[in-house]
A and B are shown apart, each in its own frame.
Chain A
């Protein structure tokens, strides 16, 4: 347990390595969109690591990057088609940030630096670990932004078409007035900066 916790905060791809910030800043206006983006990236990361590791002996050094980009963009296209069919609101909310997973540094980075050199099972494990770190990070940012900016936590709204469950928690109940600043792009930058700063501080203390 302690190991998982230390991994999530000491080697987190977003907070520590500062990778894949585009989507962390862009889609985190509600908690639901944030964790769904995290889940999508997690699934794509595990699958791309699996495929890259399976073909690591066939692909030569020179053509590695183009081949990996095609693998990842195929996976992203499949995800796009699935989301477009089953959860249109979420697909529309993600907009261009769904295809942009192709150039998310976390996915390509793990394929290049780990999956291309290691056994299949280890690569899947590595993909899961990085994906989980990303999921936790993006969920934290989404939770804070929605709570501070709107006073609510959307557990499930956009994807309720599939699950049939809908829940938006109203936390402050108009006692505290939420600040819309955190829903704007500037607020996103400032909040992420503060969160990374606090985590840096905690890390150097421990």
Chain B
């Protein structure tokens, strides 16, 4: 058991090293996010109240689009260079690899967005008291996005010709997440019930993810 835990720790050490060496990819995602915010601000105009009203919607749309940018690399590199097989031979089932990679995506891709939300809120004139709601809802929703990303990326390994299909799946399934997440900010009195719904969605997607992604990984390696 301890040996297995140490293996997991060094799996994350490997992910950390890889993400550190590809830090420019993470930075590009964040820059895309902020540049897109500026474009929205310039296109809406200087009216603070309008920006404030549509700000949360803009923020969520851009968070979603920015996080789908990195989906292509979710499994692709490890699939191409055979590291998925090596991880499997090292005692990790495909389903467990999916869980580990999902957590890795959350830590190294979604957390930087989470940290940049306060700055984005200032740019979009979102009230300070709403920032905490936004961060809480994004904390849960971004993990849901990581799970959906894992499923769509593993499906994409079997369909190398059409990457957009995977992004499309994530975007379609993220519609309820956006509805509830934006609802949390606009209906503060229903915070608890909406956060519970989001948490429920997270549990469902988290349960499906290892099964669906693991199967797709296995099938894609079989047909490689």
A complexed with B: no
Q: Which residues of A contact B (CB under 8 A)?
A: none
Q: Which residues of B contact A (CB under 8 A)?
A: none
